[in-house]
């Protein structure tokens, strides 16, 4: 009887530990873009451009802002396989302007995200390279703000 209780206790502890592994590690976090590599071009946001986003509660909702725009939408995440996909978003704010091309490009790139990597306070969102997923040569790199 005592052995069965011990096994039951260990099984419950294991199940609770597994549940934590499946949680969204990005939930309730805020990020700011610090660098990017797109089509072989490496760069950092211009100092006049502020680009960031927050991943909200367990409804997989996100919102973000650039210097001129606000955007919000929903994402899907699989922590086990590191898959990350923006499933829809909307943008409101300033008119598209050559000065703010970088901001519009960033928002459009969200549709190309397929995977993520989280290391400490750094988040990389990997972009589809052409029609190919799996390449990690194109990405957006963020630092954790909150």
The CA distances from residue 4 to 10, 13, 99, 140, in Å, are 10, 14, 68, 50
The CATH number covering residue 69 comes to 2.40.128.270
Can you tell me the mean pLDDT for 14-43?
73
Residue 36 lies in domain: 25-144
Q: Does residue 3 form part of some domain?
A: no
- Is residue 76 within 8 A of residue 85, CB to CB? The reply is yes
18 located within any domain: no
Residue 39 lies in a domain: yes
Global model pTM greater than 0.85: no
Check residue 116 and give its pLDDT.
94
CA pair distance 54, 18, nearest whole angstrom:
25
At residue 91, the 3 state secondary structure works out as strand
Number of domains in the chain: 1
Arithmetic mean of pLDDT, 91-112? 70
Q: pLDDT confidence of 2, banded at 50, 70, 90?
A: low
Reported as a pLDDT band with limits 50, 70 and 90, residue 6 is very low
Residue 102 — pLDDT band, cuts 50, 70, 90? low
The answer as to whether 11 is a domain residue is: no
Q: How confident is the model at residue 121, as a pLDDT?
A: 95
């Amino acid at each position: 009887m005592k052995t069965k209780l011990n096994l039951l206790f260990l099984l419950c502890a294991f199940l609770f530990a597994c549940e934590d592994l499946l949680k969204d590690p990005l939930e309730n976090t805020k990020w700011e873009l610090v660098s990017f590599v797109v089509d072989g071009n490496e760069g950092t946001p211009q100092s006049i451009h502020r680009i960031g986003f927050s991943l909200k509660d367990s409804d997989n909702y996100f919102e973000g802002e650039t210097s001129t725009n606000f955007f919000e939408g929903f994402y899907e995440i699989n922590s086990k396989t590191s898959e990350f996909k923006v499933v829809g978003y909307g943008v409101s704010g300033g008119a598209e302007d050559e000065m703010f091309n970088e901001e519009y490009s960033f928002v459009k790139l969200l549709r190309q995200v397929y995977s993520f990597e989280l290391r400490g306070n750094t988040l990389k969102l990997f972009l589809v390279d052409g029609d190919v997923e799996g390449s990690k040569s194109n990405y957006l790199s963020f630092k954790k703000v909150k």
